[in-house]
């Protein structure tokens, strides 16, 4: 997979791509990633990427020209009147609190693309013409407002890249984790079996795999019911839909 990030702060991604799973994915040749500075696509002495919004109002907006020029440098000429997906067959993601709430399902859908471009907003956001003409997916990581799109981009990229084949040590670990079966994951323990008076549930030490499986299913269901009943409700209404 190829990932390009358009940002005013490309250095923020240096550490992100040089540790842990990202580093491994790049080393294995599964991921090619680069963060591009939008200021490299400006033409004035101050490398200006923002301006006042038409009609007044507080704050500044990201200008369209550096974004369009960065996209053209990456993907080639943008034909007039092209919109989003039709542009290239790739996905162009804008991180915004106004977007579709991010989910494991969305991460799976994005992991099927061979090329993702992420646009990180700043200030009051980005000129609407960028969104209308270039963006295929608007994604929010939650109902709160952050300063910029860099941290949200990292959240989405992390969730997507760990789904790529060969990135995680054990392919199994993905299929049983939270959200993969509309359930949260069951509680887990490691050694020692007893610590500061707290003992690991006996069933996990029993060696009885059927009993362990049953216990885990019950715990996952109880935990989901208590912490995230909305997931179970969604699942119910999906299975009731004719
Ligand atoms: N004025 C915008 C609004 O009210 O919708 C908020 C702009 S915010 C201060 C600046 C940038 O941070 C956004 O353009 C976006 O890229 C990013 N951002 C902030 N909160 C986010 C969230 N919850 N999810 C995704 N991106 C977010």
Instruction: Report the b/e string of 182-196 with b at 16+ CB within 10 A.
Output: bbbbbeeeeeeeeee
pLDDT of residue 241: 63
User: If you classify domain 178-240 with CATH, what class do you get?
Assistant: mainly alpha
Closest CA relative to residue 22, chosen from 179, 154, 170: 154
Across residues 210-228, what is the average pLDDT? 97
pLDDT in tens, 98-109: 999 999 999 999
pLDDT of residue 157: 98
The answer, yes or no, to whether residue 111 has pLDDT greater than 90, is yes
CA angle in degrees (0–180, nearest 5) for 114-109-28: 45
Q: Give the count of alpha carbons within 13 A of 208, CB side only.
A: 10
The answer, yes or no, to whether residue 224 has pLDDT greater than 90, is yes
Rounded to whole angstroms, how far apart are CA atoms 141 and 44?
34
Q: What are the extents of the domains in the chain?
A: 2-161, 178-240
pLDDT of residue 213: 96
- CATH number of the domain located at residue range(s) 2-161 in this protein: 3.40.1280.10
In this structure, which residue's CA is closest to atom 22 in ligand 1? 97
Percent of the chain at pLDDT > 90 equals 82
**What spacing in Å lies between the alpha carbon of 142 and ligand 1's midpoint?**
10
Contact at 8 Å (CB) between 78 and 129? no
Strands (E), the chain: 2-7, 32-37, 50-51, 61-62, 91-101, 115-120, 137-140, 194-195, 198-199
Rounded to whole angstroms, how far apart are CA atoms 3 and 5?
7
Contact at 8 Å (CB) between 7 and 152? no
The set of protein residues with a Cβ atom below 6 angstroms from ligand 1 is 95-98, 120-122, 124-125, 140-142, 144-149, 152
The answer, yes or no, to whether residue 186 has pLDDT greater than 90, is yes
Across residues 39-55, what is the average pLDDT? 98
Q: Find the range with the poorest average confidence among 8-17, 106-115, 217-226, 233-242.
A: 233-242
**What spacing in Å lies between the alpha carbon of 70 and ligand 1's midpoint?**
20
In this structure, which residue's CA is closest to atom 23 in ligand 1? 97
In this structure, which residue's CA is closest to atom 12 in ligand 1? 148
């Amino acid at each position: 997979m190829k990932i390009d990030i358009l940002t005013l702060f490309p250095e923020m991604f240096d550490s992100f791509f040089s540790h842990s799973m990202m580093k491994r994915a790049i080393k294995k040749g599964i991921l090619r990633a680069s963060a591009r500075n939008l200021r490299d696509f400006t033409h004035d002495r101050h490398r200006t990427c923002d301006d006042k919004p038409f009609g007044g109002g507080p704050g500044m907006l990201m200008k369209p020209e550096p974004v369009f020029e960065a996209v053209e440098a990456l993907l080639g000429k943008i034909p007039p009147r092209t919109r989003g997906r039709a542009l290239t067959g790739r996905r162009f993601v804008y991180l915004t609190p106004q977007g579709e709430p991010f989910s494991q399902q969305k991460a799976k859908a994005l992991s099927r693309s061979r090329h993702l471009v992420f646009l990180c907003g700043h200030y009051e956001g980005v000129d609407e013409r960028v969104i209308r003409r270039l963006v295929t997916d608007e994604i929010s990581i939650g109902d709160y407002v952050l300063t910029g799109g860099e941290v949200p981009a990292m959240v989405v990229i992390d969730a997507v890249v760990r789904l790529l084949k060969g990135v995680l040590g054990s392919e199994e670990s993905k299929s049983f984790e939270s959200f993969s079966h509309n359930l949260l994951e069951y509680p887990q323990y490691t050694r020692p079996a007893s610590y500061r008076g707290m003992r690991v549930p006996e069933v996990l030490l029993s060696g009885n795999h059927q009993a362990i499986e049953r216990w885990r299913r019950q715990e996952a269901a109880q935990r989901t019911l208590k912490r995230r009943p909305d997931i179970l409700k969604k699942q119910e209404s999906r299975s009731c839909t004719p």
